[in-house]
Amino acid sequence: MNHYLKTAQDMLPRLTEDRRAIHAMGGVEFDLRQSADYILRELAGAGIKAREICPCGITATIGRGSPVILLRADFDALPLNEVSGLPFACATGSCHACGHDFHAAMLLGAARMLKAREHELHGTVKLMFQPAEETLRGCMAMIQAGVLENPRVDAAFALHVEAGAQHSAAGTVRYSLGATYAAGDKISVTVRGRGGHGALPSKNIDPVTAAAQIIVAIQHIISMEVPTSERVTVTFGLIQGGTADNIIPDEVTFKGTIRTFSDEMRAFVKQRVQEVAELCGRAMRCQADVVYSDVSVPPVINNDAMARQLFPMIEDITGPGGTTLVSEPSSFGSEDFAHITSRVPGVMINLGAGDSAHGFDKAMHNPAVVLDENALPYGAAILAHCAESWLKEQE
């Protein structure tokens, strides 16, 4: 058995304690003071000097010299009321339904193990405990605060837990080459007409029907203009407008999200959505204003060479057959780790944390999700073993 996996399995009570403590604390975006203080205390207790470079954004180094590999874990929760029934459930109105408590606990475990073998490292491991992943703000905040510098990062590695599927048994790994998480772009469209009484539509300019036409027309882009080999979604989840059933409003706003897996297709779809919205609105005698949020992320791109290099290292931990290279992207979800993989070679994998066959039938982002804590040693061991092995192979 790999020495990191054995050590991590012996550490399971400690890993579980870390996970449950962070889980109970909850907190969203940058409001993670309790969890941040807990992580700082645990790192200090392991003899690791850490610093906070932005609100609740923590970094530390283990080892010395070049090369430098960054290990990243996010630790923010979602603004949901937890209904898991767990005795350590968060009672603050937030919920670790995305498994970031697992991520943080596993990186703490990896940090302790790497610190114990610091003299054997052939370079530096930089730790990154990140806030505000769910709002896609935290990674960029840490980059702007210098997380990729002093020392300069040469490569980065992260994992994300998943559950509720047939393939997500605890301790198994799935990952892909190239695009693995989607780019995420938030869009808001405001359609302006001229309001008035619903009994006299010809004397008004109706933004409601115009908005409906625009939403339908945008789907034409996906069906007729996007190649069938591409994976693209444009989804609108919010429509606002009007005050009464017999009054045509002055304006209607609808908001949504665009998911793509390449920079080229991302630019194309954004341009076409804007064109279709504006021109369709004009055809309906309305003005359609399209605004893209500056809180957006490119796709997470797994560096091909690094991913192939890490595959056998990961399988050292999962065992033969426990690591699967999949031919398609891991998720239509977005991840702000993309801001790192767009700057340095990086890899993100999916770690199973409970499959439906063993009763873990809730997927991530469900406020009732329960994860299998037996996955914790695997995640900690993968992080530590891949970091040490990757550094050694750079010589």
**DSSP state, 131?**
S
330 pLDDT higher than 80 = no
Run of H or E residues at 237: strand 233-240
Pairing of strands 173-176, 323-326: parallel
- Stretch(es) of the chain classified as CATH 3.40.630.10: 3-181+299-393
For 157-180, what is the mean pLDDT? 95
Q: What is the mean pLDDT of the chain?
A: 96
pLDDT number for residue 328: 81
Give the 3-state secondary structure of residue 76: coil
Q: Which CATH number applies to 183-292: 3.30.70.360, 3.30.300.30, 3.30.530.20, 3.20.20.10?
A: 3.30.70.360
Give burial (CB, 10 Å; 0-12/13-18/19+) of 105. Answer: buried
pLDDT number for residue 327: 83
pLDDT number for residue 352: 97
Kindly report, residue by residue over 71-129, the tens digit of the pLDDT.
999 999 999 999 999 999 999 999 999 999 999 999 999 999 999 999 999 999 999 99
Point out which residues pair with 302 in neighbouring strands.
178
For 279-289, what is the mean pLDDT? 98
Kindly report, residue by residue over 119-155, the tens digit of the pLDDT.
999 999 999 999 999 999 999 999 999 999 999 999 9
| pLDDT category of residue 188 using cuts at 50, 70 and 90 | very high
CATH code reported for the domain at 3-181+299-393: 3.40.630.10
Q: Taking the model in full, what pTM does it have?
A: 0.94
Least confident interval from 17-31, 230-244, 328-342? 328-342
204 pLDDT higher than 90 = yes
332 pLDDT higher than 90 = no
- Stretch(es) of the chain classified as CATH 3.30.70.360: 183-292
